[in-house]
Amino acid sequence: MAIFKPKILIIYDGVDSSFVEKLDVFFDVIRAADSKQALKTAFANTDSLAAIVFEEPMDDDTLGILKKFNGLDIFRKTPAILLTEKTEQVFLSRAFDTGIFDIAGKDSPFELIKQKLLKFIELYNNRNQLESFFNQQMMTISVQEQELKENQWNIISTLGQALESRDVESGNHCERMKQTTEAICKYIAIKYPKYMLTEMKIRQIAQVTPLHDIGKIAIPDRILHKPESAGRLTDEEFDIMKTHTVAGCKLIDSIPRFKESALYTYSYNICRYHHERWDGRGYPDHLKGMEIPIEAQVVAIADVFDALICKRVYKPSFTLEKTKEMILNGECGMFNPDIIESFAACIDRIYERHYKKQLEASA
C-alpha cells in the first residue's frame, strides 16, 4: 500500500542535492532552479502544493523573490520556509514581512526541518479546511438571504397587485407612481444636493413607491369605491379611509424579517407619511416641514398628481394644465417649495412619457 506524501516545492541551485534526496523519502518533491520556474510550478500545483522551501542562494534578490510569491497570494494558503545563512536582524525581519511562515539556518538538522514542514502542513491544512467550511456556510447564508429577500418582495408585490386589482379605473397606477417619483427624485438630487438622494437611494425609493397605498386593502369597498353620485365621503368614512396609512405599515411590519432589509425604512415612511403636508395639516401624525421624510414628500405630490389627472370612481379626470394649477396654487395642500419647484420642472416630461397615451386611449 502506497504511503501518501505531501507535495512540496523546493527552490534551490542544485549544487548540494543530498538535502533534497532526504526530503524525497518523506515528501513528493518538485524542484525549481530559479524564481521564474518556481512561480510557474507553484501556479500549476496550486490545489495540491502542501509547502514551499526556499534554499539560498536562489537568485541575486531573495527578498524580491519572496515578495513576488506573496504578491500573487501564494503564501496565504501554502506555508513557506526560508533556509538561509544570513543572521542580520534587518534581513530576517524583512523576510518575515513578505509573508514567509518560518526561517531556519541552512545548517539546521534535517530532522528539525522535516518536523517543521510536517507541522506547518498540518496547521495550514486545518486552517484551509476551516476557511473552506466557513465560505460554504457563508454561501449558504447568502443564498438563504437572497431567497428571503425574494420571498419578501413576492409578498409585497402580491399585496400591491391585490390592491390595484380592486381599483380597475386606476390601472397601472403603481407603475406610474414609480416612474413619477423616480423622475422627481432625480431632479432633486441634482438641484438640491442637501437631500442626499444618491442613485442607490432613488432606485430603492422608486422600487417601494408602489407600496404607498397597500393599506387600502383594509378599507371596505363601500368607502374605497364610493361613487360621485353617492356624494362625498362623510366625516366618519373619511376617518376610516385615513387609516390606510397605518394599516399599510402594519402589513409591512408583518412581512418576515423585512425590518432587516434596506428597503424597510423607505417602505414604512412612504406608507405612513405620504398624506402628511408641509404645513402640518396632513395625516396620520400631522408632521410638518422636514419632519416628513423626503421620500414621503415626493410620493405625496406624485400621488396627488395621479389622482387628479386620472379618472376615479368619485371624480372625473382633470386636464394637465388644470392639474398643475391646482397643485401649484396649493388647492391640494401645501408642499415643500423645493418639491413644488422640482415637480413643476419635471411634470410635462413625465406626462408625455407615462400618461399621455394611456389617458388618450381611455378617453
Q: Which residues are catalytic, by number?
A: 216
Radius of gyration of the chain (CA): 35
Task: Look up residue 2 and give its DSSP letter.
Answer: P
Q: Given the DSSP bridges, would you call strands 28-32 and 102-105 parallel, antiparallel or unpaired?
A: unpaired
Largest CA distance in the chain: 105
Distance of CA 67 to the CA centre of its chain: 35
Interior CA angle at 163 toward 243 and 182, to 5°?
Answer: 90
Q: Spell out the residues 6+ positions from residue 341 whose beta carbon is closer than 8 angstroms to its own.
A: 191
> Which residue from 237, 206, 202, 242 is spatially nearest to 223, judged by alpha carbons?
237
- Give the Cα separation of 347 and 355 in Å (integer): 10
- Give the Cα separation of 28 and 228 in Å (integer): 89
Please report, to the nearest 10 degrees, the dihedral formed by the alpha carbons of residues 333, 334, 335, 338 taken in order: 150
Q: Which set of grid coordinates corresponds to residue 253?
A: 411590519
Q: Which residues pair with 11 in a beta bridge?
A: 32, 54
> Which residue from 317, 324, 313 is spatially nearest to 348, judged by alpha carbons?
324
Task: Look up residue 27 and give its DSSP letter.
Answer: S
Amino acid at 179: Q
Element (H, E) at 224: helix 221-224
Asked if residue 6 has a cis previous peptide bond (ω within 30° of 0), the answer is no
Q: Do 18 and 29 form a contact (C-beta atoms < 8 A)?
A: no
> Which residue from 105, 27, 31, 92 is spatially nearest to 66, judged by alpha carbons?
92
Q: Do 283 and 171 form a contact (C-beta atoms < 8 A)?
A: no
Q: Which residue has the cell 512540496?
A: 8
